[in-house]
Amino acid sequence: MIPLTDKEVEDIIELAYSTSEKYILKHVNKKDFEDINITINLERGEDNFDIDINIDLDSDAELPEDLAQNAIDLSLDAIDEYINKRNKNLD
């Protein structure tokens, strides 16, 4: 894999953040949250990258147990799609 550019890193982080946020807010009303904290760390190597997504939801309302994990999984799927499209365009 060709190393990610700075712009691609920014795009991936924004994609992961917005995908997670949209998923969460689609399933639970924003008013039910005290705070939604989405942290994304991306470390890039010469021929790969590692991304870590952590979601902390502060709410008095009862939330689905798998809400944060589902948002993370959806974000990772969106990143995979982005990378696949990127790699096809580089061929």
Does 91 score more than 80 pLDDT? no
pLDDT of residue 45: 87
Question: Region 70-90: what's the mean pLDDT?
Answer: 96
* Mean pLDDT (the chain, rounded): 94
Q: Is pLDDT at 18 greater than 90 in this prediction?
A: yes
SS (H, E, C) the chain: CCCCCHHHHHHHHHHHHHHHHHHHHHHCCHHHEEEEEEEEEEEECCCCEEEEEEEEEEECCCCCCCHHHHHHHHHHHHHHHHHHHHHHHHC
Instruction: Tell me what pLDDT residue 19 has.
Output: 98
User: Locate tokens 């010469």: which residue?
Assistant: 46
